[in-house]
Structure 1
Amino acid sequence: MVTKLKEMGYRVTLWVYPFVNTDSEVFSKESQYFIKAQNGSTAVNGWWNGNGAHVDFTNKKAQEWFVSRLKHIQNTTGIDSFKFDAGELGWVSRDFKLSDLSIEQTPVSLTQLYAQTVSQLGNMIETRVGYKTQDLPIFVRMLDKNSEWGYNGGLQTLIPTALIMSIGGYSFVLPDMIGGNAYKNFPSKDLYIRWLQVNTLMPTLQFSITPWDYKEASQE
């Protein structure tokens, strides 16, 4: 499939997260690379697709292991880049023990090390987190936006979010999908058009809902 998409002229990006589910073979075989609980066992926490361990990016060997696996995927499949999800400290079990004990006083450094680690995979990557990583030449993505007009995660939050991220020193801001995530409501044509207009003044455009999902008059 990757080959076919690339023949059509598309760049192909793979969605990646820092979790390894408990029912995977890697969970038991590579446990030395995961965040531990205080009793020394692998710390397990729930995320949006099950229960799993979190890669310990305070461990240099874990960083190298994570990057090497992704580079192997690139070399064998032709994947161009990666979309990195999660990375916030909230996904880590409360009963955690990091490889680098000095970082436990400022555990948010785990987020910083995650972004720094994945930045080795090229300047086409995107993350949704950052902490003292303004120097990295990568996209930083806004959190999901809802397909609505207002300030409840809707269109009216797009510009304020971009401004806040820019003031914080993040230049390569990646807005969420044009029209929002459509989790609860499919965006109306007017909302979609206004969303597209706003995004054209931002660093990049991200489509999931396409213009041809609407009637021809709306496309024009």
Structure 2
Amino acid sequence: MKRTEGEIATNTDPTGSWSLVVPLKPLARAKSRLAPTTGDALRPRLALAFARDTVAAALSCPAVLDVVVVTDDARAGAALTALGARVVPDEPESGLNAALAHGARTVRARRPRAALAALNADLPALRPGELARVLNYSAEFPRTFVTDAAGIGTTFLSAAPGVELRPSFGGPSRARHLDSGAVEADLTGIDSVRQDVDTGADLRAALALGVGPHTAEHTAQHPGAGILRAVPRR
């Protein structure tokens, strides 16, 4: 699917079979570790910008059929619905992994044999082609995950049709996903899928990779824009 500037990023002619579940906490509480770098006023706006760029890139990936966002934030829900995502409330309200499990059940209620994956909402440099490589790799295994840039956490976890997702995100989740039997994706050149953003250093790394338009716009408005200088996503 080709997309022109300003066009909604929905994959209007999807050929893929993957459903992605993206969790997003209320913006007022999101990305608290960024506050020392961005300040509290910009922090929630950046959290939403990250999510918008992540979802837009995912919906532009030819391997993706749809994206389900689990959130109770009305502002974020409206913005991500406008991009083409399906937004469901975080009915469990029991943390990240419960939200992901709820999203997975929502997907499978509609498509019982869906191939699905959990994807972090804070991947503003995400490139559809790199995500497609991860999904194609994951199709060969019951469960696959991608380790974050720090080598400790997880940014992506897949489950083949008929396989339970069993998410264990948060903290040193790489070790937990390995212990659960999930296969770590043995791929190079997928930096945009690994680079989540929790800290100022993470944000600078994502900006160096090249971020989507929403993140670029908000970082350009930051008083320290020379420090947080965005590179256009290629």
Query: Using CA pairs below 8 Å that are at least 6 residues apart, which structure has the higher relative contact order?
Result: 2
Who wins on radius of gyration, i.e. which is larger?
1
Please give the TM-score of this superposition, normalised by the length of structure 1.
Answer: 0.29
